[in-house]
Amino acid sequence: MAAMTKPLFVFDLDGTLVDSAPDLVGALNAALALEDLAPLGVDEVRMMVGRGARVLLRRGLSSRGREVADGRFEELTSAFLTHYERHIADHSSIYPDVERVLGELEEAGHTLAVCTNKPEHLSLLLLDALGMRNRFAAICGADTFSGRKPDPVHLLGTIERAGGLRESAVLIGDSPTDREAARNAAVPCVLLDYGYSDVDVRDLDAEAVISHFADVPAAAAQALAVKVAAAK
């Protein structure tokens, strides 16, 4: 695929494009119930999301003071994923302004992609359910490549699959994982402060931090300008 002249916008999924925490907490609580553990609330789980299902499950178990053997953990992971797949968009919703801004970026000739630590088939399923799959030239999950965020192979592979170049790409995310991935791949980063992060994203030294998705285009231009200036 020919290289693009306009910036490529690469988006994280959970906590950036979609508020998926309500359905993730449902799946997590289904797994915790198999250990007779009390359910967690949505606000608690928001701070645990970002590094994939297995990390989320370990954090959920730890929050209830429970450790399990490896074999049992695999059983609980399977239960989590099965429940989540069946209820992936029961209560998840697209954040305000996302659809409008993505449409405007497409109309302006930009290419869009998704780079997420959610498994690829679940990412496709979620975006299908929300009617957004066809907006993206590439949708790459935790198992698409040999590594996942913050491993740079994940972000760089997504950029390549979307037909873009690292020099003209920008990552829009919401967490330390996104910031680390962008830094490791030498790609500028815009962070949204409303997503799933257990730290203040304003302390992560991203090129831009915003509170509203409507500000993504301007912030991305700023982030790319910062990169160009730094290279001089």
DSSP per position, 61-109: HHHTT----HHHHHHHHHHHHHHHHHTTTSS-EEPTTHHHHHHHHHHTT
pLDDT per position in the chain (232 positions), as tens? 344 468 999 999 999 999 999 999 999 999 999 999 999 988 888 878 767 788 889 999 999 999 999 999 999 999 999 999 999 999 999 999 999 999 999 999 999 999 999 999 999 999 999 999 999 999 999 999 999 999 999 999 999 999 999 999 999 999 999 999 999 999 999 999 999 888 999 999 999 999 999 999 999 998 998 776 666 6
How many domains does the chain fold into? 2
Residue 70 in domain: yes
How far is the C-alpha of 70 from the C-alpha of 138, rounded, in Å? 34
Statement to judge: residues 107 and 68 lie in one domain: no
Phi–psi pair at 111, nearest 5 degrees? -100, 140
Read off the CATH number of the domain in which 25 is found: 1.10.150.240
Residue 153: which domain range?
Answer: 8-19+92-231
The confidence score (pLDDT) of residue 3 equals 43
Statement to judge: residues 159 and 53 lie in one domain: no
Among 55, 86, 117, the domain boundary falls at 86
Read off the CATH number of the domain in which 143 is found: 3.40.50.1000
Among 12, 19, 174, 178, the active-site one is 12
* pTM confidence score: 0.91
Statement to judge: residues 38 and 103 lie in one domain: no
The confidence score (pLDDT) of residue 48 equals 80
Statement to judge: residues 97 and 157 lie in one domain: yes
The confidence score (pLDDT) of residue 49 equals 77
The one-letter code for the residue type at 186 is A
Q: Verify whether residue 12 is a known catalytic residue.
A: yes
19: three-class secondary structure by DSSP: strand
Statement to judge: residues 121 and 221 lie in one domain: yes
Statement to judge: residues 145 and 42 lie in one domain: no
